Chain A
Amino acid sequence: MKILVCISKTPDTTAKIAFTDNNTKFAEAGVQWIINPYDEWYALVRAIELKEKDASTIVHLINVGGADAEPIIRKALALGGDESFRVNTNPTDSYTVATQIAAVAKTNGYDLILTGKETIDYNGSSVGGMVAELLDMPYVSLATKFDLNGNKATINREIEGGEETCEADLPLVVSCQKGVAEARIPNMRGIMAARTKPLKVIEPVAANALTSVVNFELPAPKAGVKLVPADQPEELIRLLHEEARII
C-alpha cells in the first residue's frame, strides 16, 4: 500500500493578515508558517495510523513550493511520513499545484492520495478534486471518517445537515476534515528520525496558471457594538426585530 499525502504551507491560524506591494502580496514579515491544519491533523495523521496498522504501508509526502517550505516538510516527516517530495516551484494557482502533484503521482503510482479539505489561506478546496481528475481516479471530498479493508475504502462524508457513508475501491483521492483522525504532536524520536529521511527536490513539469491574483482587500471595520443592559434582553429582541429586521 502506497499513500501520498499532500502538504501545504500556510500562515499560522493566529497570524496577522496584512498585505504589501499595493495590496498584491501577503505580508510575510514575522509570520509563523505551519502545515495546513487539515493536511496535518487529518490527512497525514490518518495515513500514519494506516501505516501503524499495516507496517508494509509506505507514506510519501508532497509539497509544491520553495525551499522555505522545508521546515514544515521536516515536521510532517517527524510525525511519521517515510519520505517527501518538494516540487520546486511557486504554487501559483490550484491548477498548477494539482498538475505537479498529478505528475509525481503518475511516476510513482499510489493507491491512495489524501489531502486536507482546504487550505486555511486560499480556502480553495480544489487541489484534491483536480488531482483526481488528472489521474482519472474517483474522489471523495469532505471525509469525516476513513477506513480501509483490503482494497475497499469505507468513507463517511459531509452532506448538508448530516453525513453519508460511501464505498469505493482503490485507487482513490480523499479530502479529509475533522473526524478522520486526531491531531498529534511529533515525539523526540520522530524529530531525530526526520533529519535523515529523504526530502527529494524535483523540478516542476510545464504548467500554465489559469488564474492570477489581481489584489487583496481587508474587510471594512465594524461600526462598533451596540450594548444592551443585561437586565433588558427584551430590548435586544426588539432591536433585532425592528432595527436589524432579521427576526
Chain B
Amino acid sequence: MSVLIFIDQSEGHVKKASFEALSYGSKIAEQLGTSAEGVVLGTTNEDLSALGKYGVKKIHQVKQDSLNHLDAQVFAKVIAEVAKSTGANCVVFSNNVDGKAIAPRLAALLSAGYVSGVIALPDTKNGFVVKKNVFSGKAFANIAINSDIKVIALNPNSFTVSETGGTAEVVEANVKANAPRVKVTATNKVKGEIPLSEAELVVSGGRGLKGPENWGMIEELAKLLGAATACSRAVADAHWRPHHEHVGQTGLAIAPNLYMAIGISGAIQHLAGVNRSKVIVVINKDPEAPFFKAADYGIVGDAFEVVPKMIQAVKKLKGVA
C-alpha cells in the first residue's frame, strides 16, 4: 500500500505543477499512514533526489529517450507497471495537459475510479471522498471513489506546496516501454513567455481595448509584474490575440493568485474560467459591468488612462526607471 505520484517533466525539467502534486500526494500518504513515492518517465537533467523535500521517500525513474515525448498509451502502461510493483493504491497526477492525457487511460487500465480537477485533500475518515470543480468553476462536487485503487488529478494552483526537507532515493525502474505510436514531429513553444496554465499572476484584456494595436500596455504591465497575458473569447475570436490566451468556460480555466481583467465586462462564461483566482482586479469604464460583482479590487475608469498610470506605479514599486 502506498501513494504514487506522477512527476511530469518537459525537456528534462520537472514542471511546477508536479511540486504541488508531490506535496499533495505526500499529505495523502500521511493521512493514510503509508509512504509516498514518485515516478518520472524519460531522461532529466535535474537532481531528482532533491524532490524529497516535498515528502517523497523514493523516486522511480524509467530512463528511456522514447519517453521524452508523450504517448499517453505508452506512459499509462509504464506507470501501471510501476504502480503494481510499488503496490500503489492511490496514483496522483497534476490535472495539466499530460495528466489529462495519461490519468484516464491509467484508470481504465487499472479499473480504478478516477476523479480529475481535484482541489483539496481527500476525506479518508469514511471511505475516500475528494472535492472537485464542476460546472466550469461555478460549483464543487464531493465525489466518493469506491474502487480499491484510486486515481486523482490535482488542479494546478489549488494546493500549496510544502517543503518538509529530506532527500529521496532515486532508483531506475526496470520497465520496458513500448514503442510510441504517437510521434512528435515539431514543438512550437512561445519562448520567454510564462505559460498561462502555470502563471501565478495574469493580466487579461477584453474588447474594451478596442484593437490588437493597443495590447502594448497590457504586455508591458504583465512583463513588469512577471505575469502571463490572457484575453476574453471575443478577443481570441477576432484574432486580436492567439487562441491559447483565451480564458473562460470554453477556453482555458485558470486559478492564478492574481487575475487582472482590463476592459472585460465579465460574462458568466468568462467568469467560469477565472473565478477560482485568489484575487480578482477589474478595470472597466462601465460601473455596471458584471465583473465588479466577482472582483476583490476595482477601478471604474478608462483603461487607456488608468493602465499607463499603473505601469508607472509598478515601475516605482519595483525600482525600475
Contact = CB atoms under 8 A, between A and B. Distances in A.
Contacts of A230: 299-302, 305-306
Interface of A: 11, 13-14, 17, 19, 37-38, 41, 93-95, 98, 117, 120-130, 132-134, 136-142, 144, 154, 157-169, 178-179, 209-219, 222-223, 225-231, 233-234, 236-241, 244, 246-247
Nearest to B302: A230
Given A163-B188, A226-B296, 10 more contacts: A95-B107, A126-B107, A133-B106, A160-B10, A166-B185, A211-B115, A219-B139, A227-B299, A240-B297, A247-B314
A130 B97 contact: no
9 contacts: A14-B269, A17-B139, A95-B107, A123-B134, A123-B253, A133-B76, A138-B72, A178-B251, A236-B297
Contacts of A117: 100
A158 B116 contact: no
Contacts of A158: 97, 244
A179 B243 CA distance: 8
A210 B299 contact: no
B49 interface: no
Interface in B288-321: 292-302, 305-307, 309-310, 312-314, 316-317
Contacts of B76: 133
Contacts of A159: 10, 97, 187, 189
B296 A98 contact: no
What 4 A-B pairs have minimum CB-CB distances, sorted nearest first?
Answer: A230-B301, A129-B104, A210-B113, A161-B195
Given A139-B101, A162-B189, A179-B243, A129 B72 contact: yes
B172 interface: no
Which DSSP category, helix, strand, loop or mixed, fits chain A's interface? mixed
B206 interface: no
Interface in B174-202: 181-190, 193-198, 201
Interface residues of B, number: 101
B202 to A, nearest CB: 11
A134 B108 contact: yes
Contacts of A157: 97
Contacts of B300: 227, 230
Given A130-B107, A233-B309, A240-B279, A166 B299 contact: no
B298 A123 contact: no
B293 A164 contact: no
Contact of B114 (A126, A160, A246): A126
A215 B147 CA distance: 19
B193 to A, nearest CB: 6
Nearest to A123: B117
Contacts of A167: 182-183, 185
A22 B69 CA distance: 46
B294 to A, nearest CB: 6
B122 to A, nearest CB: 12
A217 B134 CA distance: 10
B111 A138 contact: no
B282 interface: yes
Contact of B109 (A11, A133, A163, A165): A133
Interface in B46-100: 69, 71-73, 76, 95-97, 100
Contact of A122 (B108, B134, B187, B268): B134
Interface centre among A159, A218, A229, A241 (most CB of B within 10 A): A159
A210 B112 contact: yes
B250 A129 contact: no
A139 B190 contact: no
A129 B108 contact: yes
Nearest to A125: B100
A129 B306 contact: no
A175 B269 CA distance: 21
B182 A140 contact: yes
Contact of B140 (A14, A219, A236): A219
Nearest to A131: B108
A178 to B, nearest CB: 5
Contacts of A140: 72, 101, 182
Interface centre among A136, A165, A210 (most CB of B within 10 A): A210
A120 B135 contact: yes
B214 interface: no
B19 to A, nearest CB: 14
A92 B127 CA distance: 19
Contact of B183 (A17, A168, A225, A236): A168
Contacts of A218: 138-140
